[in-house]
Structure 1
């Protein structure tokens, strides 16, 4: 099994965000317009990319402070958020299956939990330094 580090995961997710965004803007434009979901697709790409960058920042932090184990959970929350939040919006945008909008908030909750855990990780990190 290939084990990827956080920075590699961020690179893969960031590259996918760029590729999906470009493909949406150029190759899927007609489908998105016919489903009236261009803005929804753009929102999915933005949150995907923001959280790929957040994972990159966490990966850099992990390199400097590997003792903060909570950061692994932060990465997982951001990853799950990308899959559920952005993933459901991508599928909704392309298929028009409206019930997918009901699961999108689960991804949003994962994002919020990740940011909250990140905030508490800073405090935990500062306590370790003392």
Structure 2
């Protein structure tokens, strides 16, 4: 089983971005924006890890690969939208954050479907 290298790369970059945003939230952000940045970073990190798992398991199923890409994209969209709200006061990004959330939910549901479809005999 060969890992999906592009997905693994994108997931790793998402993880790095999550650490950077989280570090800024902890050490450089004012109290008014700290919560938004921390929330975005936490969601992005969780979904970067999910995407890494999917990248490793991706040879098993195209649905697993899809789950990984949805997790990466959703985490990034969610984190970026919260960061733009916090740092640039772009309140319109509040309409974008739910798109990231829906992508993250779709990732978990895709992974659940892949788990049900793949019987233990084929795993």
TM bucket by the smaller chain? 0.7 to 0.9
8 Å CA contact 1:89, 1:101 repeated in 2: yes
Matched with 1:38 is: 34
8 Å CA contact 2:21, 2:38 repeated in 1: no
Q: More displaced, 48-57 or 10-19?
A: 10-19
CA distance in 2, matches of 1:70, 1:42: 30
Is 2:20 aligned against 1:19?
yes
Matched with 2:56 is: 60
TM-score (norm 1): 0.80
The aligned runs of 1:1-130 (5 Å cut-off) are 4-27=5-28, 29-30=29-30, 33=31, 36-62=32-58, 66-126=59-119, 129=122
Q: Give the ranges of 4+ consecutive aligned residues of structure 1 lying more than 3 Å apart after TM superposition.
A: none
TM-score (norm 2): 0.85
Q: Shift of the alpha carbon at 1:37?
A: 2.1
CA distance in 2, matches of 1:80, 1:113: 11
Uncovered stretches (5+) of structure 2, i.e. residues with no partner: none
- Structure showing greater Rg: 1
Length, aligned pairs only: 120
Aligned Cα RMSD in Å?
A: 2.1
CA distance in 2, matches of 1:76, 1:123: 19
